[in-house]
Amino acid sequence: MFGRSTLVLACISLSFGVANAADSRCVVTSYNPVKGIPPGYAESQGFKGRFDYPETTSELPPDFLANKDFRTDWRGYMNAVLDYAFEGNEDGTEAGVPTAFRIHENTKRNWYHGLWMDRGDSGREFLHGLTSERPTRPNQLGDGVAGGDPTWAIGFYNELGATTYAKVFKDPCQPDLSNVLFPVGTVSFKLLFSGASETKVPYLKGAPTWQADINRDAADPTKRVQPLHLLQIDIAVRDPRAGPSGWVFGTFVYASDVASSDPWRRLKPVGLMWGNDANAATNDALKESVINTELEGVTYGWDGRPEMGWKGRLNGPLDNLISSCMSCHGTAQFPRSELLNNYPSAPATDATYGERLRIYFRDIAPGEVFDPVTRFFGDNTKTLVRAVGLDYSLQIQTGLERLCTSARKREKPFDVLDVPTVCVPSSWVATPMFTNKVDQAAQRRELESVNWEALDAPIR
């Protein structure tokens, strides 16, 4: 379907497609350019990002949208999505090392990475392009299990979904947020790895292990590369049968007791959700989330984690139990909500149950904005702006924030290029939006007034 990208093409710039419309100086790196290459490794061993998003595609929606009903056969639906995501991505070895999920080498189906995820302290590490997420909390992965283990992850979009990325990042340094809406049949999946050991979490025994450049600020640079174990896989599908939200979310957990010669397939479904049960009373049975009760006592069911997500809604083992998959992704917008961020700062009590449903656990339609009127974080001008919805894509939200952080630091190419208009509040109140007539010096002052570094904190 396509050949191996050259290293220079894959690692320092867009390969084709959107690159034609961009400033030639607007290079986009595959891995964090500030952290660089760990000692003992060559540039040729680095992660190769795929950002050549197609403007159009002849790819058809996956078959499971027509032949699998997630309401009557949620396990069958989840397995069909997993098969679709894995096809062509598990294959190959190089010098005896598995080369799984090198999507630029997939000959079955095109997959793509999110842009601008390389920047910032949490940005893509060198070997696999993983980004840092929230470390585990005490009792999160088991009763009495200490927290503090790192979580690193990488996400992928199919070709249908990549056409939306092509619109947003036609010019990678001046994103266009006028039409962020994913087509039906968009599939996204995400691999999440943990630094927790099988001694700490017994079900991780035999899990796929990646060496990753996660300890990048180590006093001893030779200890930068550390092992991580596959713990969780998330899936998301733009499925019109889902009702108001338009999306279906699911989660798998690695399970050592699943009989398979392929360690990537030793997975158990945690559950599936297609709505927030936004009208459920406090003790009502949920109708839009399904949780695998076989995992009680394994991924939930103790005092520190009595349920997977809030009030029984779906979340993965590495996720924040006061939210849910759908509610968290439903907050995807730019600028992000100053009021609630991507999840509440504290769990709701029974007394505030109704308010939490109304504000946070409500169904967001594709293209709808979670918190329409907000402010940029730390903006000392306190300018109110009308946010743009990002159709459940926290990857686009995070990429935009890291783009703005990079521009604020004057990292290449923003040592010479203009400030991205989406990064400054005055662009959001212009008429029409983003036709900013303020000079570059003033835009630079605005950019520096926003606390972008606070937004580099890992989510989940």
Per-residue pLDDT of the chain (460 residues; tens, 9 = 90+): 333 333 333 333 333 334 345 677 887 889 999 999 999 999 999 999 999 999 999 999 999 999 999 999 999 999 999 999 999 998 765 555 556 999 999 999 999 999 999 999 999 999 999 999 999 999 999 999 999 999 999 999 999 999 999 999 999 999 999 989 999 999 999 999 999 999 999 999 999 999 999 999 999 999 999 999 999 999 999 999 999 999 999 999 999 999 999 999 999 999 999 999 999 988 889 999 999 999 999 999 999 999 999 999 999 999 998 999 999 999 999 999 988 888 887 888 878 888 899 999 999 999 999 999 999 988 877 889 999 999 999 999 999 999 999 999 999 999 999 999 999 999 998 888 888 888 999 999 999 988 887 776 555 5
Instruction: Give Cβ neighbours of residue 191 (< 8 Å, ≥ 6 apart).
Output: 101, 153, 154, 155, 230, 232, 233
Q: Say what the pLDDT of residue 27 is.
A: 75
Q: Say what the pLDDT of residue 442 is.
A: 92
The token pair that represents 25 in the structure block: 């100086």
**DSSP three-state, residue 79:** helix
Question: To which residue do tokens 């769990």 refer?
Answer: 347
CA 266/CA 247 separation, integer angstroms: 26
CA 78/CA 73 separation, integer angstroms: 9
Provide the pairing of β-strand 289-291 with 333-334: unpaired
Tell me the CA distances in angstroms from 275 to 247, 311, 320, 356, 427, one per residue in order.
8, 14, 18, 15, 34
Question: To which residue do tokens 């283990």 refer?
Answer: 149
Q: Say what the pLDDT of residue 9 is.
A: 31
User: Other C-beta atoms within 10 Å of 37: how many?
Assistant: 15
Going by the DSSP 8-state scheme, the letter that residue 223 receives in this structure is: G
CB 248 within 8 A of CB 236: yes
CA 415/CA 408 separation, integer angstroms: 10
CB contact burial 89-122 (16+ within 10 A = b; e otherwise): bbbeeeeeebebbbbbbbeebbbbbbbbbbbbbb
Is the pTM higher than 0.85? The answer reads: yes
Cite the DSSP H helix spans in 284-338. Answer: 325-330
CA 67/CA 60 separation, integer angstroms: 14
CA 75/CA 317 separation, integer angstroms: 18
Crossing angle between the packed helical segments 394-408 and 440-449, to the nearest 10 degrees: 120
Q: Say what the pLDDT of residue 8 is.
A: 30
Tell me the residue type at 36: G
Most distant CA pair in the chain: distance in Å? 63
Instruction: Give Cβ neighbours of residue 3 (< 8 Å, ≥ 6 apart).
Output: none
Instruction: Give Cβ neighbours of residue 261 (< 8 Å, ≥ 6 apart).
Output: none
CA 263/CA 259 separation, integer angstroms: 9
Q: Say what the pLDDT of residue 21 is.
A: 52
Based on the number of CB atoms within 10 Å of its own CB, is 337 exposed (0-12), middle (13-18) or buried (19 or more)? buried
Going by the DSSP 8-state scheme, the letter that residue 411 receives in this structure is: -
Alpha-carbon dihedral 12, 417, 402, 128, rounded to 10 degrees = 0
CA 96/CA 187 separation, integer angstroms: 31
Q: Say what the pLDDT of residue 22 is.
A: 64
